[in-house]
Amino acid sequence: MKTSREIREAFLRHFEQRGHTRLASGPLVPPNDPTLYFANAGMVQFKDVFTGKDQRPYKRATTSQKCMRVKGKHNDLDNVGVTARHHTFFEMLGNFSFGDYFKRDAIAWAWEFVVGTCALPKEKLVVTVFEGEPGLPADDEAAQIWAEVTGFGPERIIRLGKADNFWSMGDTGPCGPCTEIHFWMGAGEPDLAKFGQEPGEDGAGWVEIWNNVFMQFERFADGTLTPLPAQSVDTGMGLERITAAVQGVVSNYDTDLLRPLVELASQISGKPYGGTMSRDDVAMRVIADHARATAFCIAEGVQPDKDGRESVLRSIMRRAIRFGHMLGIERLFLHEVALRVVDLMGEQYPELRETRELISAVTQNEERGFRQTLKRGLEILQEETNGQATLGGAAAFKLHDTFGFPLDLQQQIGREQGFTVDEDGYKAEREEARKRSRGGGGPIRQGEGVAAVHYAIAQRVGATTFTGYERERDGST
Ligand code: ATP
Ligand code: MG
Ligand code: MG
Ligand code: MG
């Protein structure tokens, strides 16, 4: 088992063989949910099932979910091209238990997949569990199961705090500990002392690959915790990361999922790709990543535009185009990379094939438009920031308004050239302009993380009662 396709298929089959229903990815653009721009985890299509609002004919499911983490609580945009493991668009493999199996099976099956099917060496793995804090119990149960399943001593069953190993929907409602599997990427002996350190620039070091969330408790406003009547499991593993581990490369960009795209960027620009942190190499990785986001967004009907979700896509596309410009590419090119995404992934995601022409046309159109103002905008930026540490709000707004430079593109250039953007000033200018034109469409709403989604749902349906689970339990006992 070597290709990403085989790994995806093996994961889904692994859980099918363990009683899970295999489902297609939910949409990247969640329907009827203005609070969430893009699905950011596998559980998004099941959120109503977890809260008991929606009933399904199965209690176990497995998917490979199209995700994007570009806005809101999970925003990895600035990491893209810089770390070897963060993308805007990625696929999250997941298995889900809706009030069915719990910690023991989830842990045992995850381990079987990682060391059995994927054949990752045990010495290169560690796991983490919740260490507890006043009012929240440590997950000794998960630690005990891990010890039995893996034979690991406490040095490989690492206890971490709430930030990494506890999940909650909001201040009240379902919550519980999570446990994560980390893999030693790269050559050399795995070094336990390096756990918790950021991997090296090449990506070598300990990398989180799989998160298993245990929805165990309900938390009330007075802070008390009660066990949920039916406990659930929600897991997520990045396909790009597990593929890097299986293929024995340290960077996701060297897997068969992304490497062909990096190589195409290299070919178009006529510059070699060296896998380093040089400006050119970062640029090629960003283009590879952003081309995937571009293709998948357009395939779901998102078109680059000025507000909301559309503005997120526009800003991703313009970032990619500007990185291409930086590589010296003078002609329209992004559509070629996006069409390569269609070739690479069209079989798994037929919507890409069905919208091939649209992807090509929309991408060329966007690039043609942006290239008209790109050079002049970069000159203005140069003049405005010459020797200054800050780009003023008025200039930033003008760059946005007249030259079509999204704020995060300005910030990206600032990181490269050593200036910051006066974001408050920019927003004030934007607000002014909105008031003047009176047609602006209100404040920009940010997409939110999974926890916030749960929270929003709870607000709408009063889901803290979890009647679905109770009914189910009453029925079965
Ligand atoms: P990290 O700490 O590396 O940012 P995370 O803790 O934010 O990851 P989770 O929310 O636990 O990630 O998501 C589950 C899994 O999804 C992660 O273990 C990882 O394999 C994958 N993943 C998360 N964010 C990204 C991303 N931006 N690009 C690619 N894979 C990701
Ligand atoms: Mg993260
Ligand atoms: Mg993490
Ligand atoms: Mg995590």
> What's the confidence (pLDDT) of residue 202?
87
**Atom of ligand 1 minimally distant from the CA of 208:** 18
Pick the ligand that lies closest to the CA of residue 234.
1
CA of 471 to the centre of ligand 1 (A): 34
Count of beta carbons in the 10 Å neighbourhood of residue 170: 17
Pick the ligand that lies closest to the CA of residue 208.
1
Q: What is the pTM for the complete model shown?
A: 0.90
* 3-state secondary structure at position 180: strand
CA of 143 to the centre of ligand 2 (A): 23
* 3-state secondary structure at position 67: strand
Count of beta carbons in the 10 Å neighbourhood of residue 171: 11
> What is the C-alpha to C-alpha distance for residues 60 and 87, in angstroms, rounded to an integer?
28
Series of mean pLDDT values for 10-residue runs along the chain (477 residues) = 94 98 97 86 90 91 97 89 96 97 98 98 98 95 98 98 90 90 93 94 94 94 88 97 97 98 98 96 98 98 94 97 97 98 97 98 97 94 90 95 93 93 95 80 39 35 30 28
> What is the C-alpha to C-alpha distance for residues 367 and 434, in angstroms, rounded to an integer?
26
Residue minimizing CA distance to atom 12 of ligand 1: 211
Pick the ligand that lies closest to the CA of residue 237.
1
What is 4-249's CATH number?
A: 3.30.930.10
CA of 165 to the centre of ligand 4 (A): 8
Mutational pocket test of ligand 1: of 241, 258, 286, 290, the residue with most ligand atoms within 8 Å of the beta carbon? 241
429 vs 382, 397, 399, 408, 442, CA distance in Å? 20, 6, 12, 16, 14
> What is the C-alpha to C-alpha distance for residues 275 and 335, in angstroms, rounded to an integer?
23
DSSP 337-375: HHHHHHHHHTTT-HHHHHTHHHHHHHHHHHHHHHHHHHH
Residues having C-beta closer than 5 Å to ion ligand 3: 208
In whole angstroms, how large is the CA radius of gyration of the chain? Answer: 23
Residue with tokens 């707004």: 397
Contacts of 363 (CB under 8 A, 6+ apart): 294, 298, 317, 334, 335, 338
Pick the ligand that lies closest to the CA of residue 257.
1
Measured in degrees and rounded to the nearest 5, phi and psi for residue 39 equal: -60, 130
Residue minimizing CA distance to atom 13 of ligand 1: 236
Measured in degrees and rounded to the nearest 5, phi and psi for residue 432 equal: -55, -50
CA of 454 to the centre of ligand 1 (A): 19
Residue minimizing CA distance to atom 4 of ligand 1: 86
> What is the C-alpha to C-alpha distance for residues 404 and 172, in angstroms, rounded to an integer?
42
Residue minimizing CA distance to atom 21 of ligand 1: 238
CA of 208 to the centre of ligand 3 (A): 6
- Ligand 1, CB within 6 Å, residue ranges: 69, 76, 86-87, 90, 92, 208-211, 236-238, 240-241
Residue minimizing CA distance to atom 22 of ligand 1: 238
Residues counted in the chain: 477
Q: Are 145 and 179 in contact (CB under 8 A)?
A: no
ipTM of the predicted assembly exceeds 0.90:
yes
* 3-state secondary structure at position 466: coil
CA of 402 to the centre of ligand 3 (A): 39
> What's the confidence (pLDDT) of residue 439?
56
Task: Identify any residues that bridge with 89 across adjacent strands, giving them in sequence order.
Answer: 68
Contacts of 217 (CB under 8 A, 6+ apart): 174, 175, 176, 225, 226, 227, 228
CA of 164 to the centre of ligand 2 (A): 10
Residue minimizing CA distance to atom 14 of ligand 1: 236
- Closest by CA to 397, choosing from 422, 420, 378, 416, is 422
Q: Are 455 and 170 in contact (CB under 8 A)?
A: yes
> What's the confidence (pLDDT) of residue 441?
45
At CA 100, angle to CA 95 and CA 101, rounded to 5? Answer: 65
> What's the confidence (pLDDT) of residue 196?
94
Q: Are 150 and 111 in contact (CB under 8 A)?
A: yes
Contacts of 31 (CB under 8 A, 6+ apart): none
Which tokens hold the place of 374?
């790109």
Checking 189-197 for CB contacts under 8 A at 24+ apart, the result is 190/123, 190/124, 192/126, 192/155, 192/156, 195/126, 195/158
CA of 209 to the centre of ligand 1 (A): 7
